[in-house]
Amino acid sequence: MTLKNSINTDKIPSHIAIIMDGNGRWAKGKGKFRIFGHQNGVGAVREVSEACAEIGVKFLTLYAFSTENWSRPAAEVMALMELLVSTIRKETKTLMKNNIKLESIGNMDDLPEKCQRELKIAIEETKHNTRLTMILALSYSAKWDMINATKLIAQKVKNGELAIDEINDKTIDENLSTKNFPHPELMIRTSGEHRISNFLLWELAYSELYFTDKLWPDFNREDLYQAIINFQQRERRFGKTSEQVTS
């Protein structure tokens, strides 16, 4: 029996979020520059997004560039931005072929204009695709998003559109940049690091976390299947007792 056949097709997580980590170490292990790792990470993005579309995952969020990544050496930041631009441009055709819609979260205003432009074009071109929504987190951090949401909510209170007592879970959800997507059921991080690193802090409240030692450029569809099978073996209790959720 192949790994894919072991997946319970009735229990596919509808939203998977991934911290794609280990590109630098992967390149270093091969005696190459870090950007070589990022370039090879693109192959893993392609494989994983195609596999997600095939098995019925509806949303895939990829942590491609964090707010904190701006403090990396300028040459690496520039190379990453160039890679993003060229990848988005090259891969739009593949997104169309696979019926994948592109979206982004994060502070787009921070990105170089060329990057913003390519992203806008690809988002516009793929907006009617329905099989999978691929969300790129770019210049994103959960704290940035939560500060932004707080400001939006405060403004509504100030304008008299919202009473303080009305603020609840839904209010926060509706003011985050992830407002159009369900919360991820599964979060995967590669490269053996066991941290959330300012990624979707609010949205991951009840997500299952899966960590693998594989470095991102080596992560393939079989690794994705393994993560989903592991997820399906867990009991999700949302704070309730085992008896409550199984009865």
- Contact residues toward ligand FPP (CB under 6 A) are 20-25, 34, 38, 41-42, 45, 62, 64, 69, 83-84, 87, 136, 191, 216
Check 5, 8, 40, 69 and give the catalytic one: 69
- State the Cα–Cα distance between residues 87 and 79, nearest whole angstrom: 12
What's the closest the beta carbon of residue 216 comes to ligand FPP, in angstroms?
Answer: 6
Q: Quick check: is 218 catalytic?
A: no
Smaller CB distance to ligand FPP: residue 57 or 149? 57
Q: Quick check: is 69 catalytic?
A: yes
In this structure, what token pair is assigned to residue 123?
A: 């988002």
- State the Cα–Cα distance between residues 243 and 237, nearest whole angstrom: 9
- Write the single-letter amino acid at 22: G
- State the Cα–Cα distance between residues 165 and 137, nearest whole angstrom: 32
- State the Cα–Cα distance between residues 232 and 11, nearest whole angstrom: 7
Check 21, 23, 175, 223 and give the catalytic one: 21
What's the closest the beta carbon of residue 224 comes to ligand FPP, in angstroms?
Answer: 15
Q: Is 130:101 a contact under the CB 8 Å cutoff? A: yes
- State the Cα–Cα distance between residues 151 and 157, nearest whole angstrom: 10
- State the Cα–Cα distance between residues 176 and 104, nearest whole angstrom: 12
Smaller CB distance to ligand FPP: residue 24 or 184? 24
Smaller CB distance to ligand FPP: residue 153 or 227? 227
Smaller CB distance to ligand FPP: residue 134 or 228? 134
- Quick one: CA dihedral 105, 107, 108, 112, positive or negative? negative
Active site residues: 21, 69
